Structure 1
Amino acid sequence: MRIIEPHQLRTVRYRGSAQQRRIKVVPLLLIVVLLASLGFGYWRFQRPIALPVTQVTQQSYTKKDPGFVWPINEQAAVAGVGYGVLGSSPNQKQVPIASITKVITALAVLKQKPLLPGQQGEAITVTEQDVLIYNKYVAQGGAVIPVSVGGSLTQYQLMQAMLIPSANNAAEMLVNWAFGSEADYITYANAMLADMGLKATRVADASGFSPQSVSTASDLTQIGVTALKEPTIAEIVASKQVTLPMAGVINSTNFLLGEPGIIGIKTGNTDEAGGCFMAAVTQPYEGGQTVSLVAVVLGAPQVTDAMNMVKPLLTKAKQGFGKTIVVAAGQQFGTITAAWGEKTIVAAPKNVVLFGWQYGSPSFTTTLSGAENGAGKVAGITRINFGSQKVTVPLVQDKDLGEPDLVWRLKRIF
């Protein structure tokens, strides 16, 4: 028989007591863990659902060819006021631009010495230096107006003399008065052209008699558009003739003035430049719309050839304007996606028809609301720029996003 010592009995009682305590604690811990899990799961089940995610759809358009028939040897371009360059021949390069340079001179002078419509500006007295300038151009066979020491012309009259009969001496007199010297004018004008972003255009004089005054047809259409926006220049270049002190009545070198719609702008002709012409026309359309166009041809054999080449380009450009569908009904501008994966398309509810250059592409700035508003409800806007027109169009959802199902909600627990 085994004898159990007293200390052994105490040990057995101690071990039995600890085991009992463990048995009681484990269920309690399980209950705590279960309750915590249930609480955490309930919180995940009930926590706010993330807002829908918006995605803007970028718009793309296939470029359409307006079908301009460009001169074979000469370079040409067409632009519209408010529409930019509409087209240009493929052979754009710097070439002498002759007296079209005077349009740049006019812009620079008015920037330095502004004139409001109807103003004549300062009276400028003819000096001996001005007579020498006159004699210089006469000797070179350039266009001039007669001047005499002591006579005077206003700023506006000198601009008329420069732009209507294309007087070279008037251009040089004008910049000497406005800038102090032709050299200072050249610096100013080239800085102005750089600010306009016309990288291919440089002037070396005020009159364009220098072959170093160069540009491209494309650049010059933009200069022509800028000139038409200046009321003083637009008024002068539309004049068929002018009466000036010391010169009398003088006719414009632009004999297309008077033909339907023709409103300017400038001819040019030198041995180096050939025949050059910057033309402007206005064209009315149904609905009260009017478009002003500028076309340029450089390097023609004669000015008359350049004029004849401009006409079909302007005709083609005029035919390219009208009402066009810039946005089709149902055209997608974005999507709204719910946290549970349901997606709705945001689209234009109807066609958007605008007047403009039918071969151009509209630009869009789209903003989506980021909230689920329901089928057919406005869920964003798009701002459309199409030429000179700007409109804001509401965009609608094609369907409801609905509510998340129970399965998706249960999955949020884990």
Structure 2
Amino acid sequence: MRLTVLLIILDLAFAQLAGNIIREIHPPLTWKRCKSAGVCETIQGGVVLDENWRWLRDVGGFSDCFRGNDWTYENCTTTESCTSRCVLEGEDYENTRGIGTTGDAISLRYLNNQSLPTANSRVFLMASETRYQTFTLLGNEIAFDVDLSNVGCGLNAALYFVAMSPDGGSNKFPTNRAGAKYGTGYCDASCLQSQRYVGGKANINGWEPSPYDSETGIGNQGACCSEFDVFNSNAHSYSLSSKLCHRNGYSICEWDECNQGRLPDCDRWGCDYNPYRLGAIDFFGKGKTVDTTRQFTVVTQFHEDAVTQFFVQGGQKIETPAPTFNGISNTGGISSEYCANSAVEFETRDLFNQLGGFHRHNDVLRQPMVLTMAISDDYWYWNTWLDSIFPVEAEGMPGVARGDCPWKMNEPHLVKTEQPDAIAHWANIRFGPIDSTTDL
């Protein structure tokens, strides 16, 4: 009994804390839960900003614990001291981050050029003040309207699901006392080492500030979990992808395990469907079949044997095209056949099947997952994997062209200069059984 009490006391003393200087008010966002076509219930939800974008300050004052892309070592120097001495503050969403909501619509601005300029953001849909909204995807579909007309080359406006804990990890990691209310507990299949907190503790050990990105770096640990990317996108290209991890839910990787070993914890690239990569270069983009100069609707259906998509624009249903490469698949979307054959055709490592393939994919879709929306540049790969040539050194090989963007134009500093007004708009999110979210 004494040992238990001592451990609780130690956890309280060595805890990831929430601040009290800026009140945390989640922007409201409604969405619809559907039963059948035209029969939907409006849900009162909200969004919360990921902890990684928040002001992290000393618990006893106003000085920063993290400034720019590095920890401020005058306030803390170890995992223990940073976890216990630093607090996550509330956020002024509109003025500081350029995040705005109205009814069922949300906008994420890429740059917010206020007195303290900021770039990029990531938010999670909330079920309550202290819990994320979760969705079980298998046998269901999600639909949403999107406007990408001001999201250009080198940017990714993403709507996706991750297998993070609904409470932000506060139950699994008692040192995390801030919880979902402050956007804690993010993980994905990239096993991000750039998260300032991993497992409820400061990720300061081995921290290396990025030589290119003035706002981030990487630590010794990464936060891993399976991920399903419904729509990675900009006005030039998009992709749909399933990204598996070999563990269920949130897990922590150490430096050499984070996507660098012979069998990584997760498949950061996944089994992906990108029409441009598959030869349908006139399907998606400005003035193309799906015209990204105008708003359109994306509908994604999660079947046992496949994940399929279609679009709606101008009242017309638009089916996704089958690959033009022989022997991959006769239909659009991803399936067991498609994932195996595309890896062979494009001569890429088939980590998707090494980590369990479509059977594992369906297991992930049976788990509750958290809806995430983000807009971001990319200092690691310049988002060329989405809309340009990737990898650049393999230009001309099958499957390397992902979009029509010149890869040199994707460099983040150039993107910031050329696209100061970039903004992504999502609206009218609907979720329910297959064929319930649209009436076509």
Q: Check whether TM > 0.5.
A: no
Larger Rg computed on CA atoms: 1
More helix by share: 1
TM-score of the superposition, structure 2-length normalised?
Answer: 0.24
Higher RCO (C-alpha under 8 Å, 6+ residues apart) = 2
